[in-house]
Amino acid sequence: MVQAKTWILTKHFDGFPKDSNFKLKVEDLPEPKNGEVLLEAVFLSVDPYMRPFSRLSMKEGDVMIGGQVAKVIQSKNPAFPVGSHVVGNCGWRTHTVCDGTGLIPIMPDWPKDVSLSLALGIMGMPGLTALYGIEEVLGLKKGETILVNAAAGAVGSVVGQIAKIKGCKVVGSAGSDAKVAFIKELGFDEAFNYKTVGSLEEALKKASPEGYDCFFENVGGPFFTAAVQQMKTFGRIAVCGGIATYNDATPQTGPYPHLIMILKELKMEGFMQSRWNHKNEESLKRMMGWLKEGKLQSREHITKGFENMPAAFMGILRGENIGKAVIAV
């Protein structure tokens, strides 16, 4: 009999997550029945969305939600042979028995020299989020100027690189000098540390005196308020995240953006990459092409050990990661 380690959400988060919100629980798994497989996690993902979604899609006592790259170690389902790898939303667990619904096999021509962990990052949900935000939501055009915040994160770092591929000027904001150095290395035209600039308004104006055509928003809060004022007429804002607000026990507030949205005729759209799942196969091929050509670079922030998942999760909410945060079992 196989045992799965799992991380349970014992109590809904109230404010910033604490160790006491999580509990490691060992579960006996049944043998896979016909049509089922037994998976073993190889890499697990921690992402900011888990903070708000936990309250929306989980009840206390549930296994934490999340994606993983797993190896098929037993199979009674011919679609998933033993030894193959899949990406699945199995949650924070080392082993899973399931019937294969929702599992996505790793691309058949995945290069041997590319870590499978990238299927949780630049070649997975965060990378596709960046791509669809740029192409489907913003409709970013060559020569335009785009602003992205949380720019050293799993999504932001890809946003900037894709925008460079598309011939745009890219301005990035991040929360440490090391992150600023990293995104400069990635080819961002301008980058600043929002924690040390003093005036966000001045930093945004200095980085692009003529304003911004597009804004890829991952943060929310006062950054949003400052950035929306710097948009050009007919500017577009893709709302991908609001990490600065996720841990508020009482929602923080800001001025209503109505007047500037009217005066500049701004457009603002919230989105999730799942809307374009039907394009994923083609999109991942393009992204893999860019990766092989060296036009896209991936950086990961790897935490070893399943037992360290809560710490890794709290780390991303504190902004400790540069690039994609991944747990290697």
Q: Which of 48, 67, 153, 242 binds a second copy (CB under 8 A)?
A: 242
Q: How many CA atoms lie within 13 A of 229 on its CB side?
A: 13
From the list 7-15, 69-77, 207-215, 233-241, the region that binds a second copy by CB under 8 A is 233-241
Give the total residue count for the chain. 329
Regarding 276 and contact with a second copy (CB under 8 A), the answer is: no
Residue 224's nearest CA partner among 236, 242, 240, 212 is: 242
The H-or-E segment that residue 288 falls in is helix 280-292
State in angstroms the smallest separation of the CB of 103 from a second copy: 25
129 or 208: CB nearest a second copy: 129
Regarding 205 and contact with a second copy (CB under 8 A), the answer is: no
Q: How far apart are the first and last CA of the chain?
A: 20
By CB under 8 A, how many residues form the interface with a second copy?
Answer: 33
82 or 234: CB nearest a second copy: 234
Q: Which of 24, 272, 305, 307 binds a second copy (CB under 8 A)?
A: 272
What token pair was written down for 83?
Answer: 């030894």
35 or 254: CB nearest a second copy: 254
**Rounded Cα gap, residues 116 and 68, in angstroms:** 10
Regarding 279 and contact with a second copy (CB under 8 A), the answer is: no
**Rounded Cα gap, residues 227 and 186, in angstroms:** 22
Q: Which of 266, 309, 312, 327 binds a second copy (CB under 8 A)?
A: 266
From the list 3-11, 19-27, 173-181, 260-268, the region that binds a second copy by CB under 8 A is 260-268
Residues 6 or more apart whose CB falls under 8 angstroms from that of 45 comprise: 66, 67, 68, 120, 121, 124, 125, 324, 325, 326, 327
Regarding 197 and contact with a second copy (CB under 8 A), the answer is: no
Q: Which of 126, 133, 220, 310 binds a second copy (CB under 8 A)?
A: 220
What token pair was written down for 296?
Answer: 């896209």
Regarding 126 and contact with a second copy (CB under 8 A), the answer is: no
143 or 255: CB nearest a second copy: 255
Instruction: Give bridge partners of residue 26 from the DSSP assignment.
Output: 5
Regarding 267 and contact with a second copy (CB under 8 A), the answer is: yes
Amino acid in position 187: G
Residue 157 main-chain phi, psi, to 5 deg = -65, -30
Helix axes 177-185, 156-165, angle to 10 degrees: 30
Regarding 270 and contact with a second copy (CB under 8 A), the answer is: yes
Binding site for a second copy (CB under 8 A): 52, 56, 217, 220-221, 224, 239-242, 245, 251-256, 258-272, 275
